[in-house]
Structure 1
């Protein structure tokens, strides 16, 4: 019931009806979120009865941890249109995204701590340093930088993006301790923090121009996919469509014919090229699903194809 003679409420009455402190009402008023109807002769704040619903709305929005500028936008839209649907929907969606990010970060931190807890005591200090080097959740930016430096400099952006899609693993949403370790290992590998140096690009991949680079990596992607299908069936390296596509990618990039001599030379060259086996081993660990055989990676598919090429090329 309104007890004020002019139909307005004092700050104490409004605070009592809303179940908040006078200090809270004063804070929202001073920040322009809760307009006053006026002041009494003695200079005390006065509010209309509608201030109660507005104050409750402010409190509800703040209890969802929405910042004051967002609360202001919601209230301004409500004042302008009689409803806060658009601004409120955007605010809630943004808060849900933020909470999702926080929850994901907490899952990564929990898995990282479990990985430290579960390892032998003598290894815990090193394990802690390894996983602590990761943000939570981790970024793939170091992996992307590694591959951009490794790929041919003239390679078209579209081809680079297509290669990144298969070469850069995404951090799982619900990581296990082993997956955190695998991603931490990848981060250490590509940043050099594990003590190694970044490998140089294989000589067989140093193509002359942008077109050749695009042809090579597009052909390799198709060959890796075909080889991966063979690997899932449990088939051993052998000649076939996958190997033909693999060799054709190198031959087309070099504008040469696929001949027995070319295959022998390619086999020799690939055998002597620098390797990044550890990268692909960690990628397989990161993407592994419990209870299932590891999925083929571009690295394991490449090894399968090189073995098939060696077998087909002979001594």
Structure 2
């Protein structure tokens, strides 16, 4: 391919054949990506014919924005494959890992851009008098956002020394995952949720439900696992728009508490439980915002453990008292009143 007497070419000829600059060829050579075959008597680099294909591969990998160190590893693996070592090393694995890592990084960048766009639209579309407050809320959240503050909030709420596996299982359902492509209203809801979870009042020691004290750390793990099943059953009714009522969901709910209190599911226990749950501290504002985070505007609100708990409490109260009413609400100190967007 090269017309010189020795079949080699200069750095300028290689650059011309590859359609790049001499500076580019020199850059890759100096970083060990493009080895030279020899030097001329004047000390100029000389390249073998296979350097052209290697240079084109390097350019393709760099066009995909792969770092130089990853390109080096891919080329090393490619050479090992040519030497017959691919069976032992797993040919292509370095390239696959590098591409997968780049896709993850790109996905994170795209998610961040979507959150920034939705945040800007949120500020742009709100009334001028609300912009300062919304800027403060949105500015306190990273893009893309993390749920670390929400997880810390719940770790302060859960019983001390609760088994790690049980705590992690609860956090999976209690902490809403921010959508990849949010609407402005979802950005606002997450920002408000972050502000609530990190406020000084909620950051202090939080009041615990009576069932926490009755069950203890180990019993609480059993309690929350049983409640998760009851909430899932109630969520199915809620998604169908059904009113609170008795049935399997309520029975599962009551049984979870009966086991925590070392009691049996009797009419007397249900009356006691209805009163106890009505007096327990509540975090309705958190659950309302959590539902808004995961539900696009205009869709039916997604059931959350909090809304499922309220549905079951209403069913229990109606059956226990015969009045069909929902239990009273006692909020955690510092929780803001429910405010419309």
Query: TM-score, normalising length from structure 2?
Result: 0.85
- The equivalent residue for 2:234 is 227
- The equivalent residue for 1:16 is 16
Q: CA deviation at 1:177?
A: 0.8
The answer as to 2:304 corresponding to 1:297 is yes
The answer as to 2:147 corresponding to 1:148 is no
Secondary structure at 1:209's aligned position in 2? helix
In 2, are the aligned partners of 1:204 and 1:269 still within 8 Å (CA)?
A: no
Whole-Å Cα distance in 2 between the matches of residues 119 and 90 of structure 1? 44
- The equivalent residue for 1:94 is 101
Secondary structure at 1:46's aligned position in 2? strand
Q: CA deviation at 1:196?
A: 5.3
2:289 to 273, 282, 292: 282
- The equivalent residue for 2:135 is 128
The answer as to 2:238 corresponding to 1:239 is no
Whole-Å Cα distance in 2 between the matches of residues 117 and 256 of structure 1? 56
Q: CA deviation at 1:275?
A: 1.0
More displaced stretch, 261-270 vs 301-310 = 261-270
Q: Unaligned regions of 5+ residues in structure 1, if any?
A: none
Whole-Å Cα distance in 2 between the matches of residues 238 and 134 of structure 1? 40
Whole-Å Cα distance in 2 between the matches of residues 73 and 197 of structure 1? 47
Cα gap change, 1:232 to 1:19, in 2 (>3 Å) = closer
1:84-139 deviation digits (Å, cap 9, x = unpaired): 63322222222222212211111111111111111111111211121122222111
Whole-Å Cα distance in 2 between the matches of residues 282 and 93 of structure 1? 34
Q: Unaligned regions of 5+ residues in structure 2, if any?
A: 324-341
Cα gap change, 1:231 to 1:92, in 2 (>3 Å) = closer
- The equivalent residue for 1:114 is 121
Q: CA deviation at 1:40?
A: 1.1
Secondary structure at 1:155's aligned position in 2? coil
In 1, are the aligned partners of 2:238 and 2:303 still within 8 Å (CA)?
A: yes
1:246-272 deviation digits (Å, cap 9, x = unpaired): 222111111123333332332222222
CA RMSD of aligned residues (A): 2.1
- The equivalent residue for 1:32 is 32
Whole-Å Cα distance in 1 between the matches of residues 12 and 240 of structure 2? 76
Whole-Å Cα distance in 2 between the matches of residues 59 and 237 of structure 1? 63
In 2, are the aligned partners of 1:156 and 1:214 still within 8 Å (CA)?
A: yes
More displaced stretch, 178-187 vs 215-224 = 215-224
**Alignment size in residue pairs:** 314
Q: CA deviation at 1:290?
A: 4.5
Secondary structure at 2:162's aligned position in 1? coil
Whole-Å Cα distance in 1 between the matches of residues 240 and 26 of structure 2? 71
Q: CA deviation at 1:20?
A: 1.6
Secondary structure at 2:46's aligned position in 1? strand
In 1, are the aligned partners of 2:18 and 2:52 still within 8 Å (CA)?
A: yes
Q: CA deviation at 1:197?
A: 4.9
Q: CA deviation at 1:277?
A: 0.5
